[in-house]
Structure 1
Amino acid sequence: MANIKAFSLLLAFLVVSMLIADVYAGVNYYGNNSLKPYQCQGRCTQRCSKARKTHECMFFCLKCCATCLCVPPGTYGNKEVCPCYNNWKTKRGTSKCP
């Protein structure tokens, strides 16, 4: 029983130390080029989860993510963390990315 507790404690320590190392290594979770192309689907699904026109939101979000490799956190706003995503405009001057 003591071995299981010691192993669990060691495992917890390793997980926490890895998380801390990521923070101090300057891992960028948001911002231009912070994603790999295969991560766009999941981030856009989350971003468009509360949209009225989910299919339309997903179309443009995936297009923007493919170009910028960034999707802002949350379901609305926070675009300032992804400058490319935020600054991409339509011909009419409105935001292309949801």
Structure 2
Amino acid sequence: MLSTILAILLQVAAGAGLGKLGATIGAGIAVIGAGIGIGKIGGSAMEAIARQPESAGDIRMNMIIIAALVEGVALFAVVVCFLAL
């Protein structure tokens, strides 16, 4: 399975150039990392709200701010990867 994926990647790299392959893989990794980060933020916030329900408003506000910062960094990473094309 892994050898098949590597063979496909090598064929794409030979036809399109390694720069394009690296840019697309970089954009994908940036998006996956942002998704994992926002998922962890949401999960931790829900756990914190379950432990301290009286501070739900503050926790929710901080969660939204941090998620927006993570999303902004991911957007910049994707833009840089597309500019590398």
**When the two structures are superposed, what TM-score results if normalisation uses the length of structure 1?**
0.31
Structure showing the higher helix proportion among its residues: 2
Higher RCO (Cα < 8 Å, 6 or more apart): 2
